[in-house]
Amino acid sequence: MPAILDQRVRFPDPRTADGEGLVAIGGDLSAPRLRLAYRRGIFPWTFNPITWWSPDPRAIFEQEQFHVSRSLAKFVRQQPFEITRDRAFRRVMQGCAAPGRGQTWITPEFIEAYARLHEQGHAHSVECWRAGELVGGIYGVSLGGFFAGESMFHRATNASKVALCHLVGHLRARGFALFDIQMITPATRQLGAVEIKREDYLKRLRVAVAMECEF
């Protein structure tokens, strides 16, 4: 059975998750609780009720094995977009939550919660612009040398992939040790995403969050 959280900022061991990865229910989306969750290898997925997850296996990008196809590499070299970081964090989240993208967990409450993390320097975005219009982006949570990619969107061909390519290069240049993407998808698998055992993930997470890296 998942743990039922109260107002105390704490989590059970993620290894107690059920077969689907559900660890706990309840609590809130306060910045201290979110930071602790990510440090423990746990993330929220729904708001009403708030549910907390730690799936096994866990999906990550091994940065040195990030795969860019020839066609995508050629597209990136053409510099089709202006790339920025942290210029429009809230707008990127709103783009990821926009109607028409299918079912999304990114409710207004999630946007407010992660915007607070962003204000504190623990959540970041990469944006793609064309002619002054935001056409794609990605956002996630950063702690030490750990980055958790949360969601990305595009309104122009390949914009989200270009944002992801930029993010991977940026994390590599800054010495980040672990790029978590939680669960694998066909799109991320094509880009080189892999799954590792939760136990291995938690060991690497402890090392990564203890590092001193700046996004």
pLDDT digits (tens, 9 = 90+) for 136-176: 999 999 999 999 999 999 999 999 999 999 999 999 999 99
**pLDDT reading at 40 higher than 90:** yes
Copy the structure tokens of residue 59. 């999906």
Cβ–Cβ < 8 Å for 147, 180? yes
Say if 3-56 and 59-209 have the same CATH topology.
no
CATH topology of domain 3-56: Alpha-Beta Plaits (3.30.70)
Residues 6+ apart with CB under 8 A from 126: 83, 84, 85, 92, 137, 138, 139, 163, 164, 166, 167, 170
CA-to-CA separations, 65 to 154, 158, 165, 168, 177, in angstroms, rounded = 24, 20, 12, 10, 13
pLDDT reported for residue 1: 84
Which residues are paired to 140 by β-bridges? 124, 149
Q: Return the CATH fold of 59-209.
A: Aminopeptidase (3.40.630)
Tell me the domain boundaries of the chain.
Answer: 3-56, 59-209
Confidence category of residue 187, pLDDT binned at 50, 70, 90? confident
Report the run of H or E that residue 199 belongs to, with start and end: helix 198-209
For residue range 57-98, list pLDDT tens digits in order. Answer: 999 999 999 999 999 999 999 999 999 999 999 999 999 998
% of the chain exceeding 90 in pLDDT:
93
Output the pTM of the full model. Answer: 0.95
Q: What is the DSSP letter of 27?
A: -
